[in-house]
Amino acid sequence: MIQYFIDGLVSGSIIALGAVGLSIAYNVLRFANFAQGEILAIGAYISMAFIVLMGAGIGSIGPISFGWPLLGSIVFSIAVTSVIVLVVDSVLFRVLRERAASRITFIIAAFGLSLIIRNVITLVAGADQMFLSFYIPRAIPIFGDIKVVPDDIVILVITAICVVSLHSFLSITTMGKKMRAVAENPILAMVNGINVKSVIRWSWVIGASLSAIAGTLHAHVTQLDPEMGFELILPMFAALIVGGVTNVYGAVLGGFLIGLTEAFAVAADLSAYRSAISFLIMIVVLIVRPQGIIGEKERDD
């Protein structure tokens, strides 16, 4: 039972980090980014490329098979994924913004983009599964009968660091405050002299960075394949809506809830319906409490 719980927290971490990217896109860029799953996939494949190029495996530190090469690949992946996302923004979404295209146009563009990225990955890396390493999780006892896989703890710690950093960024730095202002009311923010363009660029970079981390962690605990982003997007949307779209911490909370539910669905031998279960929870939340658990009612704009 405890293992299912930890599995749920681990996959919840990955969903949560990805859903934060969705939340930022939803609140600052103002559309449901259907390409978010593929940004995670890009992050994972960039890490894979780094590890292959370094040729040193993923390394290990004590009982943790989470060595410096893997941490290095995350840093590399954050940088490269951010650049890719900024390029995509400037050739596609920036043009749509300048044309003041409707929100639906943005969503369709993102949906088309997700298909393009998925197939570019197939074209470049092939359709077959890939593995970052031959890592086999080995649980070690920590507390009487309770056994824990050390890497799972590392993943939870990395997620905690990400969430705390994000919170500090949003509440302490000037850019974080500007971002919240733009999310709250873009026109008012602009009138007050906030450079919305740079806020948008920062939003993409933060979303992409968290996605690169989430994608690499996902690749580490499971595997890589071109469909990975597509498989993650529905749980991430469910997390966003369950937690509350207007609140970035709602995405984190929702991510863990969805991760845990999926883990218990697996425990209850319903693994074939995993994605459908997160969808069902999402629908129930939309009916009972459309603003999500900790979200606020949205002003329509």
Partner 1 sequence: MIDILSFFIFFFIICSFYIISSLGLNIQYGFTGMFNVGIAGFFAVGAYTSAIITGPDYPDTMFGGFELPILLGWICAIVVSGLAGVLVGLVTLRLREDFLAISTFGIAISIQLVALNAESVTRGPNGLYALPKPFSRFLDSAFMSNLCYLIICIVTIVFIYYALERVVKSPWGRVLRSIREDEVAAEALGKNVFLFRLQAFVLGCGIMGLAGAMYANFVRFISPQDFLPIFTIQVYVMLIVGGKGNNLGAIVGAIVIWGLWSASDSLINFIVTPDYQTQAASLRIIIVGMVLVLMLVFRPSGILPEKKHLSS
| Binding region for partner 1 (CB under 8 A) | 26, 31-32, 34, 92, 95-96, 99, 101-105, 107-109, 111-113, 115-116, 119-120, 122-123, 126-127, 230, 233-234, 237-238, 241, 272-273, 275-276, 279-280, 282-283, 286-287, 290, 298, 300
Q: Decide whether 127 or 142 has the Cβ nearer to partner 1.
A: 127
Work out how close the CB of 127 gets to partner 1 at its nearest, in angstroms, rounded to a whole number: 6
Q: Kindly tell me which of 268 and 283 has the beta carbon lying closer to partner 1.
A: 283
Q: Give 61's DSSP letter.
A: B
CB 240 within 8 A of CB 251: yes
CA angle in degrees (0–180, nearest 5) for 245-246-247: 95
Task: Report the chain's C-alpha Rg in angstroms.
Answer: 19
Closest distance of CB 47 from partner 1, Å: 22
DSSP 193-249: T--HHHHHHHHHHHHHHHHHHHHHHHHHHS-B-TTHHHHHHHHHHHHHHHH-TT-HH
CB of 169 to partner 1, least distance (A): 25
Beta-carbon contacts of residue 167 (< 8 Å; ≥ 6 apart): 249
Contacts 24+ apart (CB under 8 A), 293-299: 293/242, 293/243, 293/244, 293/250, 293/253, 293/254, 294/243, 294/244, 294/247, 294/249, 294/250, 294/253, 295/243, 295/244, 295/245, 295/246, 295/247, 295/250, 296/244, 296/246, 296/247, 298/245, 298/246
Tell me the closest approach of the beta carbon of residue 20 to partner 1, in angstroms. Answer: 16
Q: How far is the CB of 167 from partner 1 (least distance, A)?
A: 25
Q: How far is the CB of 232 from partner 1 (least distance, A)?
A: 12
Closer residue to partner 1 (CB): 119 or 171: 119
Q: How far is the CB of 288 from partner 1 (least distance, A)?
A: 10
In whole angstroms, what is the distance from residue 89 CA to residue 102 CA?
16
Torsional sign, CA 16, 209, 102, 34: negative
Q: Is 282 helix (H, G, I), strand (E, B) or coil?
A: helix
DSSP structural state of residue 56: S
- Residue closer to partner 1 by CB (options 138, 289) is 289
Q: How far is the CB of 196 from partner 1 (least distance, A)?
A: 20
Q: Which is nearer to partner 1, 123 or 142 (CB)?
A: 123
* Identity of the residue, 178 or 274, whose beta carbon is nearer to partner 1 in the bound complex: 274
32 or 189, CB closer to partner 1?
32
Query: Which residue, 119 or 165, is less far from partner 1 as judged by CB?
Result: 119
